[in-house]
Structure 1
């Protein structure tokens, strides 16, 4: 299997990764497209926080982004669908001004803007000489099409609170999209819309095909080679492919498991129709990603089983492509020959650690109350867990709580996990109730229970690991970003399980978040906790800031000053409350960061500072 590393210039691996090395190795592939002009992808470089467009064609891999441009959108703050192909041209959203540009790779001409300033765009898709997109103007969202050559704008749909995934059939006669209204999120309840056009161009009809109630979330509509509409629906318990036949959706053959994650970003592609009735698809098996090609007769061929995460499926006439990751590889681009299923690695990120020394994740399934929860455990080697030549003992553990809260942690290699295990810490990734990838019922289990169910699961995880002698429960820490920071703060306020913790741009006051966050999540708290007026007492009972006097364990905070999702006052207020109560804490602000840290210098600093904070606690310095 041939391989093309994204960065092979590093020296031989050292005994320990430094924070700078762990972050520098965090280069990642973000989006993927394939067409006659080659295979294109966006590649995030933590050194300068830029997302550049790269191309593979005829065995040559090269960056094709014009200098100074970064392909990244900000629709709904989380972006997605930031570039597409239009014949020999590339169309993309520029991060700095959020305008849509087009350029021809290899041309000396400057990229040409197609849209005006002051708007945001995402979910780009080329169709018949125009670019379909979600347009954001302040708190107003629309579906539009933009002329590829003249930038002319046509309004396609407006009136719904949110839109996603516009797609036009090959003959131009059918337009499908996803929309939803407050208070829903795109993983709780959405509508599948279909508009049909007459041959001369007028609208024949428009209807809602599914999602009239609040018990179904649909995503990723598309058309197969015969022009039939296919989408993913969770009406049967998992996000699986369904096809429109006549007036109703009919389930296609599928594995039992989610065929997509929660759509926090636009532009997801986890299934793809191919000629001859084949379906290129990925799904989750108890949180572990799978990839396969399903023939028209339903026969499934598994592809690349050594990988555990697959995203951004694409195809051309001869190959299928996807982004992938595994417990031994942080990021790769795979090419699958459609005739013989042979897999080639077009490009990958080197792990910086010899394969034989990489820590393998142990799948976890454990009881929490009346339900199961999930996760993965990364254990340090015995010689790393021991200190000063003493016999190895159960190591300290850091529970990593993902954000969302409807996101998920994947069992893939991370240089940051290696940074921790090389220093003697076990890492436990928690997929608490509400995480995606385990079906609708598991996601819905967080309904009105945020701040309780997730905290129960975090504590049950430590108890489960300690009962098996895998970790030392007296040296357990908890950390999380955004919603994960809220869980960490709740666990420190309402339970006596953790020795300390970290909140990275975490929520400390849900009522304040409800009043001041951005539109996309403006009503999310109603689903997670309840109505902020009618259920005010429930909010207060689950507010770490209100109960700051119950926190006794030290806390370290990390916060971007430009964060529009969880604003800096959430961190500032919590740290001040701990100061007033005499609880040891540290606060690190980053003037140039938003929600999530993108700059390498800040990522390395936060990683190093968090480890040093825990180390001082264990050594008695705090």
Structure 2
């Protein structure tokens, strides 16, 4: 390769990392499961209308168990997860189109074991002696908010409620002898990372539950991931110390398995997450997050013994004897499914989310930074400088794209993402911000967003951009902010209440907090009480922080992307804002996508939105732009 790079203005560099490469290359991988020497996982199929399929690897053979049109997905809590379960040679899964649970024995075709209807199921566990599944059921048949329960689904389709009365249920887990069931509950207005309760009960011969007992938890303790050890001791993750650490309940007492200033759990946005497991002798193998970076370790006598590996983000971990299967990534490794031999350290990559990565000369590696923010606090982010194998800018500083992640109780990780490299390889710098409220830095950091949504997160994005401008890394006159969902509110607030950013991009973002309350689904229906304030006290703050009420202060060009089937942040959240900007004469573009919900799954949608976003930035900054890819209202006429 020629070492002498061609000159080109930042933001215009040609790149082989096209929108089509981003869409086709990043296969969503999730829900790793193990059984004997077989490994199962879910993979997205963007080219097949965004469906998700179940794969099994045994020996050296990979087999698809759910061919089209099956779509292994559930919408319990709208975010889903936990859509399948494996035991022996049999898999059960929820099919998205009809909410039916299907069973796959070996290599046979799927067979329905439940009835179609308004009942959604997630987070299955097999109750083998009673020939049934125990699931989290969400019943939408009565209209209004659904009713959530623990439910037994017999293989003849009969459904029996085992536990009800709480607003939410998750994580049903049977003890090894099948005699005790553990599960989690929580009630509105709490979210599960604020406060949950861990329960157990005896499973009687007729399948009903008796002796229901609260083991731990409450309004101010978040518990997740209950699991039974091989010897039948209940373990769970709790943040009672300020950090999600692992505990065990035995003989009426609760003991700390390992105390460490790190996170051994994640917010319960989806079902089926796993960050620890047991070897046959009871040794715990775990992953934990320390200052935003994942580690892999064994716990022996309360002490962590780290296991060398190349990853900085580990999303899921399953223990399989003397090995682990995990989903993981790093700055130069896109998310992949791998098996690590715990005795030898040998690593085998079983599936890559990106089959053909660009040469490293095209890839920007992030710098992990921290910087001061408002009120003497500290915020965290990953900074990606522009990088291109063939082009460089003759002078000046690059434009900066600040990314505000969703959630807002989410987390930015450093795993290689082509969606980020799409920008850096074209001459944009990128700052991926873990603002106050983000996961991975302990409960105090997470709770720093309590009552401050639309303020603290915005400040951290603004201060991050200023920090890089002062360092001399970026052009302070070409600062962009983009975000999706909750990150969309951060984006809109940053543009409305601060003058630093020149352009914004909102993917299915929140603009009207009162409207969000009115349209929200059950899971997040009271989330704003934590993020802002309880009603009716919140009404004034809602008006104050909702960008829709302050369009007179917003004079920066914006582009909006919205899935028309979005039930989490419905289309009116974007449409009202777009119309307000149109009426005020501010340059604005709006792209809607049929058949897309909260997050875009179809390859065509990913391509269209990325290309339109780039086109919008280039037009707004007066850079070279090709044919019109999205209509821009109020576009100034060229002089």
Are positions 1:543 and 2:546 aligned together? yes
Q: Note the alpha carbon deviations across 1:420-474, whole angstroms, 9 max, x for none.
A: 0111001110111001111100110111110111111111001111111111121
What runs of 5+ residues in structure 1 fail to find an aligned partner?
1-13
Q: Is the 8 A contact 2:37 2:320 kept in 1?
A: no
Q: Deviations over 1:50-86 (max 9, x none)?
A: 2111111111122222331111111000001011112
- State the Cα deviation string for residues 327-367 of structure 1 (Å, max 9, x = none): 11222112122433432222223352113432111101111
Partner in structure 2 of residue 337 of structure 1: 341
User: Which deviates more from structure 2 when the two are superposed, residues 33-42 or residues 482-491?
Assistant: 33-42
Distance 1:304 1:417 in 2: 27
**Which residue in the other structure is 1:27 paired with?**
27
What is the rounded CA distance, in whole Å, between the counterparts of 1:101 and 1:469 in structure 2?
57
Q: Which residue of 1 aligns with 2:435?
A: 432
How many Å separate the matches in 2 of 1:371 and 1:536? 28
User: Could you say which residue in structure 2 is the equivalent of 1:608?
Assistant: 611
Q: CA deviation at 1:384?
A: 7.3
Q: Which residue of structure 1 aligns with residue 532 of structure 2?
A: 529
Choose from 238, 241, 254 the match for 2:243.
238
Counterpart selection for 1:567 from 558, 567, 570: 570
- Which residue of structure 1 lines up, in the alignment, with residue 231 of structure 2? 226
Q: How far apart, in 1, do the equivalents of 2:397 and 2:391 lie? A: 7
Partner of 2:18: 18
What SS is found at the alignment partner of 2:21? helix
What secondary structure, in the 3-state scheme, does the structure 2 residue paired with 1:526 have?
helix
Higher mean displacement: 193-202 or 508-517: 193-202
For the pair 1:209 / 2:211, whether they are aligned, the reply is no
Residue ranges of structure 2 left out of the alignment (5+ in a row): 1-13, 141-145, 624-634
Question: In structure 1, how many angstroms separate the alpha carbons of the residues matched to 2:68 and 2:569?
Answer: 32
Deviations along 1:297-339, one digit per CA (max 9) or x if unpaired, are 3454423431111122223344321111111122211212243
Instruction: Find the partner of 2:312 among 308, 313, 316.
Output: 308
Cα separation, 2, equivalents of 1:425 and 1:299: 43
Q: What is the CA distance between 1:204 and its match in structure 2?
A: 4.8
Which residue number in structure 1 is paired with residue 254 of structure 2? Answer: 249
The answer to whether the Cα contact below 8 Å between 1:485 and 1:504 also exists between their aligned partners in 2 is: yes
Aligned residues: 602
Structure 1 equivalent of residue 402 of structure 2: 399
Pairwise mapping of residues 62-141 of structure 1 onto structure 2 (< 5 A)? 62-107=63-108, 109-128=109-128, 129-138=131-140, 139-141=146-148
- Establish whether residue 357 from structure 1 lines up as the match of residue 359 from structure 2: no
Partner-residue secondary structure (3-state), 1:545:
helix
Q: Is the 8 A contact 1:330 1:351 kept in 2?
A: no
What residue in structure 1 maps to residue 325 of structure 2?
A: 321
Distance 1:524 1:475, change over 3 A: same
Q: Is the 8 A contact 2:308 2:345 kept in 1?
A: no
Is contact 2:90-2:105 (8 Å) kept?
Answer: yes
Once the two structures are overlaid, the 10-residue window that deviates more, 241-250 or 224-233, is 241-250
Q: CA deviation at 1:113?
A: 3.4
Q: Secondary structure at the match of 1:62?
A: strand
How many Å apart are 1:277 and its aligned residue?
Answer: 2.5
Q: Could you say which residue in structure 2 is the equivalent of 1:5?
A: none
C-alpha root-mean-square deviation of aligned residues, in Å?
1.9
| Whole-Å separation in 1 of the counterparts to 2:387 and 2:348 | 32
Q: Is the 8 A contact 2:113 2:156 kept in 1?
A: no
Write the distance in 1 (CA, Å) between the matches of 2:532 and 2:203.
Answer: 43
Q: Which residue of 1 aligns with 2:11?
A: none
Distance in 2 (CA, whole Å) between partners of 1:406 and 1:52 is 28
Give the 3-state SS of the residue equivalent to 1:136 in structure 2.
strand
TM-score between both structures, scaled by the size of structure 2: 0.91
| 2: CA distance, partners of 1:555 / 1:215 | 39
With structure 1 as the length reference, what TM-score do the two structures score? 0.93
Equivalent pair of 1:447/1:528 in contact (CA under 8 Å): yes
TM-superposed deviation, 1:97: 1.3
Verify the 8 A CA contact 1:557 1:571 in the aligned structure 2: yes
What residue is the counterpart of 1:459 in the other structure?
Answer: 462
**Comparing 301-310 and 469-478, the one that deviates more:** 301-310
